[in-house]
Structure 1
Amino acid sequence: MTETLSKHERNLAAIIHGSTFSRFFIPFGNFLVPLVLWMANRKQYEFVDYHGKQALNFQISLLLYSVILGMISIPFFLGFLPNIFDGGFLEWNDFDHAWPFSFHFDGNFFDFPGLWVPAGIGGILSLGIFVVNITYTILATIRTNEGEYFRYPITIKFIK
């Protein structure tokens, strides 16, 4: 299959995959830069069209998974918030006085299972999403540059 693809097509498709790392420099760069590259070249090259869709679908899917993870984590943190004012960190009676507030740190402040369990699970899952994103983007860039049709796992087809 690599014999029928030009070096330009393979490089362009690899650049589309690799351009998702622009999110570290440009806000929403993982969507905007691949979108611009894909839109500019999708009608000329079928290989580039396929990989542009794959890269964008993968990034949109991971964004959706991150939003869902955040929405699942919010109730745990809202359940934790009323306890923050009870006996220790910032007490309700501190608001009766004018400035300055009285902050009290004691040994049990960081011993809230209501915070650490969901934060730990949510953090591990967020780290997992991040690692999957980095790993499969690098893998897609390498395989695409070799001329293979790469398909990301756990991707929802938003762009068909």
Structure 2
Amino acid sequence: MEIINQKVLRKDNQLLAITHLTQLLSYVTGCGGFIVPLALWLTSKDTVEGMDEHGKSIINFQLSLLLYIVLCVPGILLFGLGILGLIAVGTIGFVLPIVNAIRASNGESPSYFLTIRFIS
């Protein structure tokens, strides 16, 4: 009787919450809110329970925010509607990581609305 490829996933809700909160680095460094969660997801998706689901949702959310920002920039020329869009994207990008960090620390699944699923 031998055991082959037995993976034991550990439950680490604090790391999941920290991964969500690292998205806020975008407000400090500009691109750290994408790179740091990506690195955390890629390094621990096979060892932490739920990291694959949370990591994919974070990366999809960050890519969606980037797309919305790119679409809002030309919208500034259209009666200034792009400015309202940028304010909305900035607010959503600040609030949702905090809400989902609390959800992750409680052991719940992430919930990012207006997210395009680039990675499924």
Question: Offset of 1:69 from its aligned partner?
Answer: 1.4
Matched, 1:27 2:30: yes
Instruction: In structure 1, give the amino acid aligned to 2:90.
Output: F
Equivalent in 43, 50, 73 of residue 70 of structure 1: 73
CA distance in structure 1 between the aligned counterparts of 2:89 and 2:27, rounded to whole angstroms:
16
Match of 1:146 in 2: 106
State the identity %. 32
Matched, 1:36 2:39: yes
List, as ranges, runs of 4+ consecutive aligned residues in structure 1 with deviation greater than 4 Å: none
Indicate if the aligned counterparts of 2:23 and 2:34 stay in contact, CA closer than 8 A.
Answer: yes
| Matched residues, number | 111
CA distance in structure 2 between the aligned counterparts of 1:65 and 1:144, rounded to whole angstroms:
25
Q: Compute the TM-score of the two structures, normalised by the length of structure 2.
A: 0.84
Question: Offset of 1:136 from its aligned partner?
Answer: 0.9
Long gaps (5+) in structure 1: 77-117
Match of 1:98 in 2: none
Aligned-residue Cα RMSD (Å) equals 1.5
